Structure 1
Amino acid sequence: MMKNNKQQYQEAQLFTVGSLFAGIGGICTGFIQAGYKIKWANEYDQKACETYRYNYSHQLYEQDIHNVKNPKDWGYVDVITSGFPCQAFSVAGYRQGFNDSQGRGNLFFETARFIEEIQPKAYLLENVKNLAGHDNGKTLEIIKDTITKGLNYSFIPFILNSKDYGNVPQTRERIYIVGFRNEGHIVGSLNQDFNDNSSNCMSNTVSNKFKIPKPISLTRKITDIIDRSTVDKSYYYESSHKYYPELEKTMIREDTIYQWRRVYVRENKNQLCPTLTANMGTGGHNVPLVKVDNQYRKLTIQECLGLQGFDPFQFKFPNHMAKSHCYKQIGNSVVVPVIKRIALNIKYALS
């Protein structure tokens, strides 16, 4: 069917996105909801790729980006996003940083290579909060110098907690870094409000138009996400289970989430979900638990999706996908509403 002038104009106004380390598409979903067009995405994990292809139809490059000789072959995009692997900087990991034995820390420099080759109008980086203080701040300093001095993009870092910025009842702090092309002289700091720092902001720059999201009220509760109907029995602990006496003793409330911590149960008294992790489906540590109708069970896959801001009725996993893989992929993802707010503000700045 021939596109009319209005359709062609609307498509011309869409900013395009290239997503590195896309996972199951949390960052992509946030940008799509903000009105962008995903031109291509990249992910190397086989299981995550299966889930991604199950939910999205745009181009997915399933390969190690170390082996991509010419990033331009993937096509120009207005924005490059990168949730490069966080394990190298995570408190939960070995915190090896750029010296990570599996090479995950060095994947930032692959992101920088793509930015340098493609020259997008803007970029968004996402990682664990611990990246900010890793190696006494030296790691973040290297990233800043690479982006500003090496690539000539601005550097605007900020830390957001999903409970304060995404209206999602999960405590999940992440560092985000945003920057714009040809503005390498503009550098923000985590210790100051970039938008109120007139020395960094110049009225004729795109960076000045970008606003770090402000806190919003948390109106969604744990009880809005927990499924009160009967779920699959595999999620429940039977009375014969060796952990059952501990669950029965500690889990007394139905309006919060508990967490199995290897040998004991911890109650989250702030009525928020603790940070969902990639290993929450292995059964040994950080397993989120709820009490429903005097029964004790793990959070379902759909509940975990909801706590990451996905629509659990629209986002689906392939039917054959093992629960452990689903939990891992959700734990490695991002809180979609937070990404959407950042994406909207990037869009406003570019417009």
Structure 2
Amino acid sequence: MLYRFIDLFAGIGGMRLAFELYGICVFSSEWDVKAQETYMANFGEKPHGDIRQIDAKDIPDHDILLAGFPCQPFSIAGVSKKKSLGRPHGFLDETQGTLFFDIARILQGKQPQAFLLENVKNLKSHDKGRTYKVIKNVLENDLGYTVYDAILNAKGLVPQNRERIYIVGFKKPLKFEFPKIPEQGPPLRSILEENVDDKYTLSDKLWEYLQAYKEKHAKKGNGFGYGLANLDSYSRTLSARYYKDGSEILIPQEGKNPRKLTPRECARLQGFPDSFKIVVSNTAAYKQFGNSVAVPVVKLIAEKMIQAIERDETIEDNLEEGRAEYATK
């Protein structure tokens, strides 16, 4: 069976790549113009713009909602206080004004059977855990989904230390387990290009600046500064700021200054195939890959989600089996 899915906060389509094995994308949304260019070049369609301007009824029916949404900070105000003031509370109030609200209203309007959300791992601890508590409350209690979450590190699949929170939900109370990610993954050298242009090598001026900056902070007891990568291990986390100086992941070179990763190496670091087209400037490409998901991680989650849907085993089934087993003892 092919599943219909939508790709919100689509970026350059990392989640879509992972789910295309199981279905077809019937709608995508991404406001960034440069990301839209990359998406168009690779998927043959231009995503719709700002999701805040799109009515849920204008989105096609779908089975699975995907969203790597940005986390805009919000906090919880006391519901009882709001009640006493006659103000709205719960779903509409606690998430209003955040981009998560747009996911919630689409889930409410379209009622897909499953969703996958991705975010930085700090979402779980933001505002002493209150932010995530609101999100989970909306998904479970207001929208009626059975929700699972896990913080997974991509470094067992790609040579990058990248921890992210993944939130999976099902309209039915399905049994679900996240995939096990291997502890050891491929080494960084496995994604490096053979012949790299000298323009990626740091200038003497920038290299001297980065070394002085690191030394200054080391004296203060801080760990700030560049990261000279170990080619037999994994890199630091690739971020959207990589275009600035590449300092978090520098590749050592014999007899000359270290260099930045190339955009293609950044694509590989996130698990994109070499067939994935890079059609924008290096600056834009660095931002796009830094903001992307690690595709192989999402592929494994997609597989587990589809298995859970097709197995159709509910938590209640497990409870009934447990009770029956207990009764026979």
Residue 44 of structure 1, aligned match among 17, 31, 43: 31
The secondary structure found in structure 2 opposite 1:48 is helix
Q: Does 1:78 align with 2:63?
A: yes
Partner of 1:132: 124
In structure 1, stretches of 5+ residues that fail to align are 1-12, 89-95, 184-206, 251-260
- Cα offset for 1:286? 4.3
Partner of 1:272: 234
Which AA in structure 1 matches 2:171?
R
Partner of 1:91: none
Contact 1:277 1:286 in 2 (8 A): no
Matched ranges for 1:15-164 at <5 A: 15-32=3-20, 34-58=21-45, 60-69=46-55, 71-86=56-71, 88=72, 96-97=73-74, 106-164=98-156
- Cα offset for 1:237? 2.4
CA distance in 2, matches of 1:50, 1:65: 17
Matched ranges for 1:157-196 at <5 A: 157-164=149-156, 167-183=157-173
CA distance in 2, matches of 1:172, 1:97: 24
- Cα offset for 1:67? 1.2
CA distance in 1, matches of 2:167, 2:41: 29
Q: Which moved more, 1:218-227 or 1:14-23?
A: 218-227
Residues 42/98 of structure 1: CA separation in 2 closer, same or farther (3 Å cut): farther
CA distance in 1, matches of 2:98, 2:145: 19
CA distance in 2, matches of 1:173, 1:339: 13
Partner of 1:221: 187
Number of residues of Structure 1 aligned to a counterpart in Structure 2: 282
- Cα offset for 1:288? 1.9
CA distance in 2, matches of 1:265, 1:49: 31
CA distance in 2, matches of 1:344, 1:127: 19
CA distance in 2, matches of 1:263, 1:20: 34
Q: Does 1:317 align with 2:278?
A: yes
CA distance in 1, matches of 2:210, 2:132: 42
- Cα offset for 1:142? 0.4
TM norm structure 2: 0.79
Residues 314/98 of structure 1: CA separation in 2 closer, same or farther (3 Å cut): farther
CA distance in 2, matches of 1:263, 1:343: 36
The secondary structure found in structure 2 opposite 1:282 is helix
- Cα offset for 1:218? 2.8
Which AA in structure 1 matches 2:33?
Q
The secondary structure found in structure 2 opposite 1:281 is helix
Q: Does 1:14 align with 2:2?
A: yes
CA distance in 2, matches of 1:298, 1:119: 44
Residue 294 of structure 1, aligned match among 255, 264, 277: 255
1:39-69 Cα deviation digits (max 9, x unpaired): 22110111111111011025x4422111112
Partner of 2:201: 236
User: Would you tell me which structure has more helix in proportion to its own residues?
Assistant: 2
In structure 2, stretches of 5+ residues that fail to align are 77-94, 215-221, 311-329
Contact 1:171 1:275 in 2 (8 A): yes
- Cα offset for 1:300? 0.5
The secondary structure found in structure 2 opposite 1:43 is coil
Give the fraction of aligned pairs with identical amino acids, expressed as a percent. 37
Which AA in structure 2 matches 1:85?
P
Residues 265/44 of structure 1: CA separation in 2 closer, same or farther (3 Å cut): closer
Contact 1:85 1:104 in 2 (8 A): no
Contact 1:125 1:176 in 2 (8 A): yes
Which AA in structure 1 matches 2:137?
D
CA distance in 2, matches of 1:83, 1:124: 8
The secondary structure found in structure 1 opposite 2:302 is helix
Which AA in structure 2 matches 1:243?
W
CA distance in 2, matches of 1:299, 1:170: 13
Residue 336 of structure 1, aligned match among 278, 295, 298: 295
Q: Does 1:348 align with 2:310?
A: no
- Cα offset for 1:27? 0.7
Residues 72/228 of structure 1: CA separation in 2 closer, same or farther (3 Å cut): same
CA distance in 2, matches of 1:262, 1:315: 35
CA distance in 2, matches of 1:106, 1:26: 23
- Cα offset for 1:98? 5.7
Residues 116/18 of structure 1: CA separation in 2 closer, same or farther (3 Å cut): same
Contact 1:20 1:83 in 2 (8 A): yes
